[in-house]
Amino acid sequence: MEELPQLLLAPDLARGDEFEDGVLAFALVDGHVAGKGTAGVYHTSGGRGSTRIDTPLRHYYALNVHKIPVGVLGASGYAGRELSAFIAQHPQLSLAFATANAQRGDTLELPGGAVTFIATDDAPLASAELVFSSLPHGASAEWVARARAAGARVVDLSTDLRIGNGADETVPYGLTEWTRESVRAARVVANPGCYPTSALLALLPLLERNLIAPGATVSVTSASGVTGAGLSPRLDLLFGEITENYRAYGVGNTHRHLNEMRAAVQLLNQDVDLLFTPHLLPIARGILSTITVPLRAPLADPLEPWRTRYAGEPFVEIVDALPELRQVQRRNVVRIAVRRVEQLRTPTLQIFSAIDNLVKGAAGQALQNANLMLGLDETVGLPR
């Protein structure tokens, strides 16, 4: 591949999706390479005279030149593993390091390649353009500050910097569909929790348009797979305790994610109470939320606020049929349906929202935010 240096004439960070029909919009190679098999180039038919490189050579360029180094702190947990796998398969990112104190030195096989963990203290923070922190709540903020001091941008997946948790209010809350432009310009982003992502994306069109009855109590009932509880061993998460079972927890409006949901409602200046009841499902991944909302007035078309608000959003699916978890698992999407509630004196809607708690509820949304922070296409490297 002696001709490969000529590919460096391409702009930095060129993406595969910037090549329309495989034809380069700029001069990369010249005609003397033509006729050299799969590593060569050829002219397109139709007399246009444009130069085209074949798939193997394009992929060599896309996969090996000008990748952006990123790191993952706390990579051995469920969200950290998911992130590492996404990065390993991302066409424009490379994994500079992945830390896990208890598993340091261990190698984990992931989609896209093997990852060998190092101790967090040994992380070469300055080698990364962006760092994802999947460290435990309470431990992450310190490492966010260290990464920033080393010059890296940061996406924090813990609660430490999220709204409603006493954190710095200048750090954007990374619910991408709500705060996209703030995320794009940020050096640090607080990635939302999984339950708040499911609930707030469902509620946002009503909250922004002041359609909820003043003083109303919005009931959010969510059911999650067990990966939402993290990887640490617990007696109540043993197989024998989970399988063939279904139970509520964090009852009485005490769950820690309620703080950021309330804070989002307050930022939108809405006089609304939230009643949040999570449940544990005997499955690995996914969250299904059922949200009951009293309205100021009936809506002629119950789905209109969502169709209008999320028109053109690549990771929001507004559907007529009720969403199911199998439709969103391993995808960076939220799937939303709405129903009018009958036989109540107050006009009321039920909203049904489904996400994968590890993807749109954690690693996928973190990568979505990172793409924006790094000036990349928001959708690149994310499963849809």
Spatial separation of the C-alpha atoms in residues 90 and 382, rounded to whole Å: 8
- CB under 8 Å, gap of 24 or more: what pairs does 103-107 form? 103/76
Which residues, listed in sequence order, are joined to residue 126 by a DSSP beta bridge?
none
* Three-class DSSP category at 223: strand
The C-alpha atoms of residue 154 and residue 277 are separated, in whole angstroms, by 31
Helices (H) and strands (E) in the chain, counts: 9, 16
Closest CA to 84 of 363, 379, 369: 363
Determine if residue 144 is left, alpha or beta; phi over 0 gives left, psi from -120 to 50 gives alpha, anything else beta. alpha
The answer to whether residue 208 is catalytic is: no
Classify 165 as helix, strand or coil.
coil
Distance CA 273, CA 321 (A): 28
Which amino acid type is present at position 232? S
Polymer length of the chain: 384
CB neighbour list of residue 329: distance below 8 Å, 6 or more residues apart: 285, 286, 356
**Helix ranges restricted to H, 166-275:** 176-184, 194-208, 239-242, 258-267
What angle, rounded to 10 degrees, do the helices at 176-184 and 194-208 form?
100
Residues facing residue 208 across a β-bridge: none
Angle of the 176-184 helix axis to the 364-373 helix axis, nearest 10: 30
Active-site option among 115, 163, 186, 194: 194
Alpha carbons 172 and 181: distance in angstroms, whole number = 10
What's the token pair of residue 14?
A: 């060129």
Active site residues: 194
